Amino acid sequence: MAHDERMTKDFVRDIVDAHLASGRFGQRVHTRFPPEPNGYLHIGHAKSIVLNFGIAEEYGGKCNVRFDDTNPVREEEEFVDSILEDVRWLGYDWEDRLFYASDYFDQLYEWAVDLIRKGWAYVDDQTVDEIRAQRGDLTTPGTLSPFRDRSVDENLDLFARMRAGEFAEGERVLRAKVDMSHPNMNMRDPIMYRVLHATHHNTGDRWCIYPSYDWAHGQSDSIEGITQSICTLEFENHRPLYDWLLDRLGVHHPQQIEFARLNISYTVLSKRRLRQMVEDGLVSGWDDPRMPTLRGMRRRGYPPAALRDFLSRIGVAKVNSTIAFETLEHSIRDHLNRTARRFMGVLDPLPVTIENLPADLDDTMDFAVNPEDPGAGTRAIPFSADLVIERDDFMEDPPKGFHRLAPGREVRLRNAYLATCTEVVRDGSEVTGLVCRVDPGSRGGNAPDGRRVKGTIHWVSVPHAVEAEVRLFDRLFTVEDPMAGDGDFMSYINPDSLVVRKGCKVEPAVTGIGPGETFQFERLGYFCVDPDTTDGHLVINRTITLRDTWARIRGER
């Protein structure tokens, strides 16, 4: 697939270049995306997907999807399907290379036996607590396990019995014999296998011992012939172990490369915290349009190409950083501006009667499908003398700088007529409607005498309109870094992150828009049809507003 071009070269690609130049892996480039099937993917995972698949594409290599399913008690089949769906939606194809770490359990077992034979692994009978206590701490070396010097034969026998199910969980464990006084804690005889009498989503009850991440990951990479094993920074301290294990085995040895995970202001990107928001009901689910999950963003109307663009422009590095939410928004708007079809909708309707047009007028106006894309052509929008406009577009006593409608003022009804407000209808103090007079010669929107009209507002013809519920979303948190400070991040949830508007009026063509298409309501922003829509009830999500200079000016006053 021909994806968007990257803007800069990063340190990961520099390393790949160096590998190619030295011929370390021949001329092969083979990466992998290794999710654990225990939750839904979010934009942070997308950074890894785009990196791994992107590099494979650029270098004419391949990228696998491999589920890191080594912990049966946390993982579920349902997540496998959702993860694959999300990867596909993002625009990537693993072809026939869908793997599971659990595919390699037999090989992993054989290799463990091999290490035992070579004296590099042993069965430990200690409890979790004993092992923890004996590990030492950051400044104190660990102490040796009393079982560390068992004979190879005894280790072999015990390990076989672990596999056979003779021991309870926690009773025995297989450990790599590395160095209990190593300054890197990961090297203090790390656990390779633990007993878990649990049913695995893939292997069922075939196993009751399961490999740890450290024992499974590098070896799986090796089996698949991976060349660059790209992971996040927190695995940096695991690299010595990754290398140690592969070196003892003497098998294909990929290069682990670590990059900084993604952080975005005004949101959180951690499975645990996202889960908490779902479970506490602060959002409607993992696909709530406010969630930074891929499912949430899809439902919100973010196009996958915009996400790819965003991820490629923020780059990849080793510095921990937080990307401004505005940067994401820019990519969304930029993509949508170029691609989205334009429609009209009124979120907060104010009735307008055109006094000098026939009450039964049934006209249509030409409208550009997308002014940014002349090739998209034009279409017709129904027009009548009975309209609604946005309440915000009228002020009885407008401040300077306001160039929308006001008593006696003329504005352009977009693509229709120049209209002057001749009367304000009210119920008590509340304005309930307007009467306008239209310049008959301005049909289409241009003044017959060429006079300039500064304001242009949008409208919808009431007899043709469809009613809709529109959901307006805003950032999930009120502070840039919800994790900062010692308060609970949940207390920073933005109470206005969802505002529901009912009784909105939209042009009838909107009902023909399918799922997955994000369109523009002129002057308002980008929107999409929500799956909650039923036959009689149209539900629309606001993906993002248009930049609103007027709002900014007002806000700064």
Partner RNA sequence: AGCCCCGUGGUGUAGCGGUUAUCAUGGGAGACUCUGGAUCUCUCGACACCAGUUCGAAUCUGGUCGGGGCUGCCA
Backbone angles phi, psi at 250, to 5 degrees: 70, 35
Instruction: Please say which residue, 290 or 523, places its beta carbon nearer to RNA.
Output: 523
Helix (H) or strand (E) holding 211, with range, is strand 209-211
Residue 241 CA to residue 218 CA, distance in Å, equals 9
442 and 450 in contact (C-beta within 8 Å)?
no
Q: How far is CA 1 from CA 5, 380, 512, in A?
A: 12, 36, 29
Instruction: Single out the residue of 11, 75, 63 nearest to residue 34, CA to CA.
Output: 63
511 and 531 in contact (C-beta within 8 Å)?
no
**CB of residue 428 vs RNA: minimum separation in angstroms?**
26
42 and 307 in contact (C-beta within 8 Å)?
no
Instruction: Please say which residue, 147 or 284, places its beta carbon nearer to RNA.
Output: 147
**CB of residue 534 vs RNA: minimum separation in angstroms?**
29
The residue type found at 308 is: R
Instruction: Please say which residue, 35 or 289, places its beta carbon nearer to RNA.
Output: 35
Instruction: Please say which residue, 395 or 466, places its beta carbon nearer to RNA.
Output: 395
102 and 145 in contact (C-beta within 8 Å)?
no
**CB of residue 374 vs RNA: minimum separation in angstroms?**
11
**CB of residue 531 vs RNA: minimum separation in angstroms?**
26
The residue type found at 457 is: I
Backbone angles phi, psi at 524, to 5 degrees: -110, -50
Instruction: Please say which residue, 219 or 288, places its beta carbon nearer to RNA.
Output: 219
169 is catalytic: no
287 and 293 in contact (C-beta within 8 Å)?
yes
**CB of residue 200 vs RNA: minimum separation in angstroms?**
11
Burial category of 498 from C-beta neighbours within 10 Å (exposed 0-12, middle 13-18, buried 19 and up): middle
Q: Which of 97, 271, 275, 318 is catalytic?
A: 271
Instruction: Please say which residue, 283 or 336, places its beta carbon nearer to RNA.
Output: 336
**CB of residue 101 vs RNA: minimum separation in angstroms?**
8
Instruction: Please say which residue, 172 or 253, places its beta carbon nearer to RNA.
Output: 172
418 and 447 in contact (C-beta within 8 Å)?
yes
Partners of 498 in the beta sheet? 473
Q: Which phi-psi region, left, alpha or beta, contains residue 366 (left: φ > 0; alpha: ψ -120 to 50)?
A: beta
**CB of residue 222 vs RNA: minimum separation in angstroms?**
16
Q: Which of 36, 58, 329, 423 is catalytic?
A: 36
Instruction: Please say which residue, 231 or 476, places its beta carbon nearer to RNA.
Output: 231
Instruction: Single out the residue of 442, 432, 363 nearest to residue 410, CA to CA.
Output: 442
**CB of residue 12 vs RNA: minimum separation in angstroms?**
9
Helix (H) or strand (E) holding 186, with range, is none
**CB of residue 43 vs RNA: minimum separation in angstroms?**
14
Instruction: Single out the residue of 349, 366, 372, 351 nearest to residue 526, CA to CA.
Output: 372
SS3 157: helix
CA atoms within 13 A on the CB side of 137: 2
261 is catalytic: yes
Q: Which of 28, 97, 135, 261 is catalytic?
A: 261
Three-state SS sequence of 412-434? EECCCCEEEEEEEEEECCEEEEE
Instruction: Please say which residue, 24 or 74, places its beta carbon nearer to RNA.
Output: 74
Q: How far is CA 231 from CA 32, 35, 237, 255, in A?
A: 10, 11, 12, 11
118 is catalytic: no
Q: Known catalytic residues?
A: 36, 261, 271
